[in-house]
Amino acid sequence: MRHELENPVVVDFPLRGENWIAVTTPAARVPSHGVDILGQRYAFDFVRVDHRPGVHVHPASTLRTSTLGARTRECYAWGAGIHAPFDGEVVVAVDGIEERAWVNPFREAARGMWNGVTFRPGRLPSIPGNHVILRRGPVFAGFAHLTPGSVRVSPGERVRTGDLIGRVGHTGNSTSPHLHFQLMDSADLMRAKGLPCAFRTYEVRGPYGWQRVESGSPGARERLRAAE
């Protein structure tokens, strides 16, 4: 696995603020999502948590969120800005897919299994939900599960590094509000192959405070924030 990650494409970290966690990352395994389709071999899933130990995506207790569920808009990641990680061109921008108002772990697990079993090319939007794809030369960056009405860009538009392109949501194959981010070699998800990615700079919270990382790939469960 390690040799696959030796020459990554380096881009800017697409999120702002702190307490982000890569619950899915190629630093832990490749393919990061367990499958090698839709260009997601080296994809990341970022959720936002609070200061409690573990992965708490909502203020409620683990018991409540894992049984009764929680309101989507109360989750920490929901509505967070997503920023362009490089100067480039918008090639795909999909908005208007309905967002589920409630996060329920049992329903979301069943939905994910059903979408996987019944997947056909014509049902592709059911996987990423509202999404954006940017292009910089031969590299394409995909952002999935955006909240409806938040996509700020249109195909053909040029963006600069740091521009706001949308907001984190809970559409498509999503277990809770989060950002699915990946680099790939094509905008056609049915043909795309994933590209290894590193982030130019970000910070990881350690026992003695925040530590700066350059050209790194976040490990599983590391607490992250955008570098100052």
Structure tokens at 136: 């910089």
The pTM (predicted TM-score) of the whole model is 0.92
pLDDT at position 130: 97
**Cα–Cα distance between 18 and 215 in angstroms, integer?**
18
Bridge partners of 184, per DSSP, are: 140, 194
Contact 192, 106 (CB under 8 A): no
pLDDT tens column, 103-162: 986 666 555 555 555 555 555 667 899 999 999 999 999 999 999 999 999 999 999 999
Residue 129 three-state SS: coil
Sequence ranges of the domains in the chain: 2-226
pLDDT, tens digit (0-9, with 9 covering 90-100), for 164-200: 999 999 999 998 999 999 999 999 999 999 999 999 9
Superfamily of domain 2-226: Glucose Permease (Domain IIA) (2.70.70.10)
Report cis status (omega within 30 of 0) of the bond before 59. Answer: no
